[in-house]
Structure 1
């Protein structure tokens, strides 16, 4: 492993990709960003986005990207699908690659590798707990549209029902419906149906901020409260004894923190690091000869 000069941590999901670049001693050099890299959006697209994020980080650090001198740690949405993971590994541009779920890298980063629990709330959602023996257990994360409760996509999909009913008069046309229609770019039933036919999880997740901006609206308030209940159920499933510290992570963490049930509010902690830094920890362990 003496030829490894750089370690890279990747956090890849349905909205975007973040890369953290460090030297072999773990000194952070730069960060980069790219497009979505969740495996459910396509393997070629995932690698393209990771490549953009890594190139961005290397450019900011003043180095040329040379995959042969890198160890790459990835925390990605979709790696639990064995065929997607195999295809992702087969298309890798480098030999030294560590791939885990984004849930695993998130819990490693959030608690610095110590025991703890996270609920990751972004385009998708998942909860993970790392126990004192190092075992990781998962709740939720079954994917859009049937799962990923309390995620941006989950909220956005349910927000669409209000728009549909406002358009045909089942509920009053109001500021929430108008704001959602403006974000969608639809003006009537036909254009809304056209958007719905093409929309993926990323498109639905873009509607979630509209709900939070109108959180006093009864429909938005009810959805946000339901999301809080779903977060509570995931925490209960992984830590029924209520002994582990809990960190909410991801782009919706701050917005949904007030909705977390009171029984868990006292254990909430700010994450120490993010998923990209958790993935960097895995890359550095590999570079130091500690196999994952």
Structure 2
């Protein structure tokens, strides 16, 4: 194996990609971000945004030449880089095969891949046993038990699951807006906000929905929180999301023995709203999914020695 000059942790989800660039000794050099790299949105897009995020991390590290090489996937650089990837959709075998078979995959000196949820739980508890409910664009629960067992709960994707995630909130908010147009639900503040964003008549909403993906639905989620205090429909959605968080956490660790972290953009908004008994279980994450992706990479490198 080529001696690695850089180790890079990637957190790739349905809304964005984050990169953490370090030296082999773990010293942080730079951070980068780019568009979504969830595998369900396509392998070419995933690799493009991963490359963009890595190039941005080199740029912020003050390594302009390396940033240019990273952007063009120049093997003179990438062969000296280890890449740890926590990607949404990496539990799908077909997507993983396509991702690994892509030409870009062979450019890196070492590549370790797992789900963004697993990377997040490794980061949240510094590689030690613990549980995590991660709620951003989507949602998933992950637990690493003391006996080495790994457990995943939820994370079935935005079309059928991912309860409490941003796309889930957006879809339910859109449903409320549609029902208000039909006069099947009150035209409250949340419905009117969705109309303002997406259209206030049936043809316009149908057109918006026909072109919407996970990311676009997730962009509607803030409207629910904005109108929680003065729209019962918005408050009810948040209450349902809190029930989902509790359900995922209980399934991960029925006895409540593991430290529990709650992460992600939506998770951070839900945390203050949790019932006291559950909020008492929650600990602050030690790190994030990019930290976990680096741990994933380091474990993979150790197993090759």
**TM bracket (short chain):** over 0.9
Counterpart pick for 2:205 among 192, 199, 213: 192
Following TM superposition, by how much is the alpha carbon of 1:260 offset from its aligned partner in structure 2, in angstroms?
A: 2.9
CA displacement 1:141-176 (0-9 Å, x = unmatched): 111211111111111111112111222333333332
- Alpha-carbon distance in 1 for matches of 2:79, 2:304: 19
Which is worse superposed, 69-78 or 58-67?
Answer: 58-67
Following TM superposition, by how much is the alpha carbon of 1:2 offset from its aligned partner in structure 2, in angstroms?
A: 5.5
Task: Provide the secondary structure at the position in 1 that maps to 2:265.
Answer: coil
Which is worse superposed, 161-170 or 73-82?
Answer: 161-170
CA displacement 1:80-118 (0-9 Å, x = unmatched): 110100110111132410001111100000011111100
5+ residue gaps, structure 2, are: 71-76
Mapped pair 1:278 → 2:292: yes
CA displacement 1:109-140 (0-9 Å, x = unmatched): 00111111000001110000111133321111
TM-score (norm 1): 0.95
**Alignment coverage as a number of residue pairs:** 290
TM-score (norm 2): 0.91
- Alpha-carbon distance in 1 for matches of 2:82, 2:280: 38
Please give the root-mean-square deviation of Cα atoms over the aligned residues, in Å.
1.5
Runs (4+) of structure 1 exceeding 6 A deviation are none
Q: Higher helix fraction: Structure 1 or Structure 2?
A: 2
User: 2:2–2:79: 8 Å Cα contact kept in structure 1?
Assistant: no
Following TM superposition, by how much is the alpha carbon of 1:227 offset from its aligned partner in structure 2, in angstroms?
A: 0.5
User: 1:26–1:284: 8 Å Cα contact kept in structure 2?
Assistant: no
5+ residue gaps, structure 1, are: none
CA displacement 1:11-42 (0-9 Å, x = unmatched): 00000000000001110101000100000000
Counterpart pick for 2:89 among 72, 78, 81: 78
